[in-house]
Amino acid sequence: MLAFACGERTIETVNRLYEKLSHLRIERIFTDCWEGFKSVFPYNLLTQTKKETNAIERHNCVNRHWVARFNRKTIAFSRASHMVEATMTLLQHLVFHPTADKEAWNLLQNIIK
């Protein structure tokens, strides 16, 4: 996971995601065929196909496995947007970038305060 943006499936959410990716040297972006991606991502980087998004869906399964709040019909956790953002940030650091543990734990301590 390189970046994430929580929110509805809107141009604004895609813009937030692209802003988080813009500092990286991205060679190709794979998305599904939603028309909104065409208005945000550069044409030369964008490939829209379901065939190449299986890795993204696999990561979504990992997210649901590790974080109960993403499972259906849970009452165990808040779904407030700031808590989802914090959870995804921790997941990004601890699961997908385990060498960044110290940064993630510092973030967790700031959230708990």
Top-confidence residue, 105 or 44: 44
Structural domains counted in the chain: 2
Judge whether residue 106 has pLDDT over 80.
no
0.85 surpassed by pTM: no
- Range with lowest mean pLDDT among 50-54, 59-63, 72-76: 72-76
Residue 35 placed within a domain: yes
Residue 87 placed within a domain: yes
pLDDT of 101: 59
31 φ/ψ angles, rounded to the nearest 5 degrees: -135, 170
28: containing domain:
1-52
Judge whether residue 27 has pLDDT over 70.
yes
User: Do 2 and 35 fall within a single domain?
Assistant: yes
State how far the Cα of 83 lies from the Cα of 80, in Å rounded to an integer.
Answer: 5
Quick one: average pLDDT of 69-73?
Answer: 59
Residue pair 7/85 in contact by the 8 Å Cβ criterion: no
